[in-house]
């Protein structure tokens, strides 16, 4: 299953596309108050996307929203 990553909220908040190293948060819903977050340990954004995509596929989620 292909996972789509939506970065609109992150880009609005940070003024740039997600990149670099850090702890990343991904949600299956656009609601910023959601408690159902997929957290990554400290890693690059590319590594975090792979980590989150694996978990999302296991849960049957097709779109993840990168949290600001």
Residue 58 has a pLDDT of 95
Q: Which residue has the higher pLDDT, 32 or 4?
A: 4
What is the rounded distance in angstroms from the CA atom of residue 40 to the CA atom of residue 10?
16
pLDDT tens-place string over residues 14-60:
999 999 999 999 999 887 677 789 999 999 999 999 999 999 999 99
The answer to whether 35 touches 21, Cβ cutoff 8 Å, is: no
Question: What are the domain boundaries of the chain?
Answer: 4-66
Residue 1 has a pLDDT of 72
Residue 46 has a pLDDT of 98
Residue 30 has a pLDDT of 83
């Amino acid at each position: 299953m292909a996972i789509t990553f939506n970065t609109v909220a992150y880009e609005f908040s940070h003024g740039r596309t997600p990149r670099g190293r850090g702890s990343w948060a991904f949600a299956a819903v656009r609601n910023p108050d959601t408690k159902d977050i997929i957290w990554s340990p400290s890693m690059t954004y590319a590594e975090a996307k792979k980590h989150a995509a694996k978990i999302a596929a296991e849960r049957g989620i097709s779109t993840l929203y990168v949290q600001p």
